[in-house]
Structure 1
Amino acid sequence: MSFTENKLTVRSSADLAAAVPYLLGFHPSDGSIVVIASRERRIVFAARGDLPTPAHLLREFTVHLVPVVQRQQPITDLVLVGYGMPEHLDPALRIVGDAFTTAGLTVREMLRVTEARIFSLTCDDRSCCPPDGIPFDPTASLVAVQATVAGLVARPDRAAVARRLTPDYSGRDSIRDATNTATTRMEALITTGSTAVFEAGVLAVRDALRQHDNGARLTDDEVAWLSVLLTDRAVRDLAVDLTQPHEQHITFWAEITRRAHTPLVAAPATVLALTAWRCGDGVLAVMAAEHALQINPDYQLAHLVLHALQAGLPPTAIEEAITRTHHSPSTRNPNHPYDQE
C-alpha cells in the first residue's frame, strides 16, 4: 500500500516493528516478509508477501516484487522485515535484499521478528542490536497509541480483514425481495428518459452516505435500491467520486457489499476496493476486487483495479478517468437491467 500522509513517528527498530501491523492493516503471520519503502525517511509504501517454500521459488517472488517497489520512485531506501524462525527467514531475507540491491535500490536495514524479539541482520553493534534480539511489546508501544489516535487499525490477521467481506445471510430473503422490487422500479425509470437513472442515483448515493455519516443503518429496501442503481456505470462512477477516503466510508461500502443481493455485489465491492486503495489499505482493496470478480468474472473495473494494485500503481491511475466521466449518464440496454459491464 502507499501512504499520502505520514501518521506515525518511527525512531527505532522496535518502533518500526510495532508500526508494521498498522501500515498493513493486520498483524503479519510467520513466513511473511514486509517491504517498507521510504523517501527521505518518510514511509511511502509497504507491501507484504508470503515467502515461498521451497527456497528456489524465491527468484519468482523477487521478480514480481522488485518492479512493484521500483514503481514507487523516487525511493531513498528500503527496510525488509521478516517474521518467523531464522533457519528459513535469514537466508531468504538476504536473497531478497540482494535482489533489491542489484536493481539499484538501497536496503537500509533487514529485521527479523521472532516471537516477541527483533533481530537485525545488518547491524553488528551489540549496544543497539544485541545477538539475542531486542524485546518489544507492540501493544505497549507509543507507535500503537499514535496509530490508534490516527484512526489506523491492526486486525489480528489477514483472515480478519477477509471477514469484512463475509456476506450477511441473515436477511437474504428480504434483500432478494427488495431487489426484485427495486429492479422493477429501475425498469420503469429507464423508460422515462436517458438521465432518469443517473438522477435517481445521485440522490440515492448522497442520501446513503449522509445517513451512514450520521450513524443510521440503511434498510433492506435502501440497500437494494442503491445496489440496483450501481449497475449503471455512471452512478457507480459517481459513487466513487462522492466517497471520501476515510475508514467510515470503507465501513459503509463493506456493509453494502455484505448485504447486497449476490448478483449485484460486484459494483459495491469494486467501489469498496477503490475506497480502501485510496486509504492505503491495499490488502482490503485486493480482497474486495477479487471478491467482485468471484461474483462477476467479467467486471471490467474490478479487473483494472486488481491489475493496478498488483503492479503497485497509485489509485490516481484509475480514479482520474472515473472522475472525468462520472457526470455522463451511461447508455444502458433496457433488456438487461443488471448491466454490469
Structure 2
Amino acid sequence: MTTTPSRTPLTARCSEDLIALAPVVLGFWPEESIVLLTFGAARPFHARVDLPPREVQDKKVRGEVCRMLLGPAQRYGVRAVVLLYFTSDLLAAEAVHTTLARGCRRARIQVVSGVVADGHAYVDLGAGGGRLGPPTPYDVTIHPFVLDALVSGQLPHRSRDEMAAGLELDPVLAAPVLAALADGGLLDTGPPADGRAIGTQGAWVEQTVARAVATGELPRPGELARLLWTLQVPLVRDAAWSLLDRAGATAHVRFWTDVLRRAPDPVAAAPAALLGWSAWQAGDGALAWAAVDRCRRSEPAYPLAADLAKLLEHAVPPESWTGVPDWRIGLPRGGGDAH
C-alpha cells in the first residue's frame, strides 16, 4: 500500500477534480488501482493499493483490501473518505466498492464519493454501492491541479512502473563502479567484521555521505565502490542512516537514487533501503514502497526494508520518527576515525 501525507490543501468540487487530485497526491498516474483520499483526521493521508482483478476476487481478497485501507483510517480518526477506482473493469471496482462502503459504515466513516475512472470516462458510485449515472467523458491532462503539479515537479512519473524503472541499474552509469569493484576485488572480499575496522569504515561513510548530500556531488566511482561494499555491514549502513532527517530528506532521496542506479544487485539492498527511508521522510510514500520492492528483490528479508514496510502499511507519519541511535555504541574506542 502506498501512503502519502496530505500536502497543500486543494479544493475538489466535482468528480473530475477528484480524479485529477489522485496523481497529484501520489506523484504518478494510478492504473488498476484503488485510491483512498481521507478527510477530517488530525493528520489526513492518502493511500493506494492495487485493484484485485475480478477473476481473483473473493470475500477474503476484498476483506484484505478493506483491512489495508480502512485500518489506518480508523487508527487516525478519519471521518470521511473518497474512494477512487482507476480501471476499465467496472464490475471489479463495484465489487470492491461494496465491501469498502460496508466497512466504512461499520467504522462510522462517511463515504463522500466513489468514482470509477478508465482514462476516458468516469462513473459515480453510491455510498453503499451501485451506479449513480451513465459514464461521463473526462480529460484531466490539462486540469489546473495537474498543470500546477507538473510545473512544481510533484508529478514526475507517468505511472508507478515508470517510477520503479528509475530505480533500476543503469548499465552506462554503473560501468565505472563495477570496474572499480572488480579492480579492488571487493565483490570477492567479505566486508569488514572487526569492530575497529567497522568503526573506521563507518566514520568514512558518515563523512562521505554527508559531503555528497550537502554538495550534491556524487563521489567518484572508486569511492562509490567502497561505499557499496562497506554498506553491507549493518552498523556501517546505520552511519549513513543516522544522517537522515526530515529537513534534508529530499537531498538524501536524490543521493541514494543516484547510488542505487549504479549498484549491482548483490550490493543494492542497503542503498535501496536507505532510499526508502529517505523517501518516507520526504513524504513520498509511493517512492518509499518502490524502494522497498527494489530492496527485497536484492535481499528478500532485509530487516531495514521490513521495518519501513510496517511503517508504510500502518500509515505512520514521518514526523513520528525520532532518528537513529548512535551507531558507534559498542564499538572499540579509536575505531571511529575515517581514513
Q: TM-score range by the shorter chain?
A: 0.7 to 0.9
Go from structure 1 to structure 2 and tell me whether the alpha carbon gap of 1:192 and 1:95 turns closer, same or farther (over 3 Å shift).
closer
Which of 305, 309, 312 is matched with 1:306 structurally? 309
SS in 2 for 1:165: coil
How many angstroms apart in 1 are the aligned matches of 2:82 and 2:192?
Answer: 57
Name the amino acid aligned to 1:139.
Answer: T
Q: CA deviation at 1:218?
A: 3.5
Aligned length: 320
With 173-182 and 68-77 compared, the bigger mean Cα shift is at 173-182
**Percentage of pairs with the same residue:** 22
Match of 2:26 in 1: 24
Which of 271, 274, 281 is matched with 1:271 structurally? 274
Q: Is the 8 A contact 1:194 1:329 kept in 2?
A: no
| Alignment pair present for 1:117 and 2:118 | no
Match of 1:152 in 2: 154
Q: Is the 8 A contact 1:68 1:311 kept in 2?
A: no
Match of 1:290 in 2: 293
CA RMSD of aligned residues (A): 3.4
Matches within 5 A, 1:80-99: 80-83=83-86, 84-99=88-103
How many angstroms apart in 1 are the aligned matches of 2:311 and 2:43?
Answer: 23
Q: CA deviation at 1:194?
A: 6.1
Q: CA deviation at 1:4?
A: 4.2
SS in 2 for 1:139: coil
Q: CA deviation at 1:235?
A: 3.7
For structure 2, the residue ranges without an aligned partner over 5 or more in a row are 333-339
Name the amino acid aligned to 2:90.
Answer: P
Match of 1:205 in 2: 209
Q: CA deviation at 1:243?
A: 3.5
SS in 1 for 2:166: helix
Matches within 5 A, 1:227-242: 227-242=228-243
Name the amino acid aligned to 1:65.
Answer: C
Match of 1:75 in 2: 78
How many angstroms apart in 1 are the aligned matches of 2:220 and 2:296?
Answer: 26
Q: TM-score, normalised by structure 1?
A: 0.79
Q: CA deviation at 1:150?
A: 4.4
Q: CA deviation at 1:135?
A: 4.2
Q: CA deviation at 1:274?
A: 1.0
Which of 167, 170, 175 is matched with 1:168 structurally? 170
Q: Is the 8 A contact 1:8 1:146 kept in 2?
A: no
Q: Is the 8 A contact 1:167 1:257 kept in 2?
A: yes
| Alignment pair present for 1:102 and 2:103 | no
Q: Is the 8 A contact 1:236 1:267 kept in 2?
A: yes
Q: Deviation digits for residues 231-285 of structure 1, max 9, x if unmatched?
A: 3434423423424555443232122112024321111000011112223333322
Match of 1:49 in 2: 50
How many angstroms apart in 2 are the aligned matches of 1:330 and 1:111?
Answer: 55
| Alignment pair present for 1:253 and 2:256 | yes
Q: CA deviation at 1:96?
A: 2.3
Match of 1:136 in 2: 138
Match of 2:325 in 1: 325
How many angstroms apart in 2 are the aligned matches of 1:324 and 1:217?
Answer: 24
Go from structure 1 to structure 2 and tell me whether the alpha carbon gap of 1:63 and 1:191 turns closer, same or farther (over 3 Å shift).
closer
SS in 2 for 1:259: coil
Q: Deviation digits for residues 41-100 of structure 1, max 9, x if unmatched?
A: 984222232233237425423334335433241211111011224344334322322233
Go from structure 1 to structure 2 and tell me whether the alpha carbon gap of 1:191 and 1:87 turns closer, same or farther (over 3 Å shift).
closer
Q: TM-score, normalised by structure 2?
A: 0.79
How many angstroms apart in 2 are the aligned matches of 1:176 and 1:292?
Answer: 19
Match of 1:336 in 2: none
Q: Is the 8 A contact 1:69 1:312 kept in 2?
A: no
Match of 1:338 in 2: none
Name the amino acid aligned to 2:283.
Answer: G
Q: Deviation digits for residues 159-197 of structure 1, max 9, x if unmatched?
A: 101201211223555323423539599979968666322
With 287-296 and 165-174 compared, the bigger mean Cα shift is at 165-174
Q: CA deviation at 1:217?
A: 4.0
How many angstroms apart in 1 are the aligned matches of 2:42 and 2:315?
Answer: 20
How many angstroms apart in 1 are the aligned matches of 2:122 and 2:191?
Answer: 61
